[in-house]
Amino acid sequence: MQKRKLGNSGLEVSAIGLGCMGLSFGYGPAAEKQDAITLIRKAYELGVTFFDSAEAYGPFMNEELLGEALQPFRDQVVIATKFGFEQGKTELGMNSKPENIRNVTEAALKRLRTDRIDLLYQHRVDPNVPIEDVAGTVKELIGEGKVKHFGMSEAGAATIRKAHAVQPVTALQSEYSLWWREPEKEILPTLEELGIGFVPFSPLGKGFLTGAINENTKFDKTDFRNIVPRFAEENRKANQVVVEKLTAFARKKDATPAQIALAWVLAQKPWIVPIPGTTKIHRLEENLKAEKIVLTQDDLLEIESAFAAIEVQGARYPAALQQRVGK
């Protein structure tokens, strides 16, 4: 697989990474441990060198899983994880106090079976802790060799600038896809100016852009999409037009909707590295083939034109979670 560099940091990773959250959190019951390990190792065999986790995915289960799966080839991969929630539980709110960052880092090193974290993200901006203190703490951890690079997630442009002035930010991770393009307004220009890489999560629209979800889909009771307005039944029905347009274009390119959605993200900037997640090996193989699809300028204009006429229905987060992003 081709490699990409995340901004000016020099951190080189596979053009498509693997978002590991769904293996243990967010989208229904956790995958069987051995199945998850097999999938992670298969991703590595197929050329993936960038794996994304967080203490909050489980909590803790995801990092343990990744540590075991990647141990045989630890030095050939880049592991990203995140701090920022009280006790690793999203429902308890944020905690980016310096002491907590240090405690989480030490615990994550053990769970990941490693002596360093390649990319350590603040999971969400904590309104109660100055971002300069957060960046300063990560800077100290980098100085100690426990962390290699600093990342942020779902941060606003002003906060990114403040953090970057203390400790250069290697990557910002935020949602970005054909049906969520908000980062294009302010975030992408800021990242380009500062030389920061961009790691889009949910580049397949939390599964919607694959075409496998419609208004009749029933999610597991523990699936996070049950509380997402964009996934309300009436919005899934209204938003089918997005998948129809994508599918029609994919047919012309002899590709799947998911592959075109990922190829589109890759085509936006050379320093963008999407991290689609899956629990199925055939989906993994499908997703990774997207990096071989070349979208011409005409293709991109055609996609742009088709999507410009569509107004996607439903907010991407319920109000309580929306308050945690873009700060």
Residues tagged active-site: 57
Coil, strand, or helix at residue 151? strand
Yes or no: say if 37 and 65 are a contact pair by the CB < 8 Å rule: yes
Q: What is the DSSP string of 280-313?
A: -HHHHHHHHGGGGPPPPHHHHHHHHHHHHT----
Yes or no: say if 243 and 208 are a contact pair by the CB < 8 Å rule: yes
Q: What are phi and psi of 241, to 5 degrees?
A: -60, -30
List Cβ neighbours of 315 (8 Å cut-off, separation of 6 or more). 228, 229, 230, 322
Provide the angle, in degrees to the nearest 10, between the axes of the packed helices 33-45 and 61-70: 50
Give the span between the Cα atoms of 120 and 165, in whole angstroms.
17
List Cβ neighbours of 305 (8 Å cut-off, separation of 6 or more). none
**One-letter amino acid for residue 239 of the chain:** N
Angle at 302 between CA 297 and CA 308, to 5 degrees: 120
- Max distance between CA atoms of the chain, in angstroms, equals 54
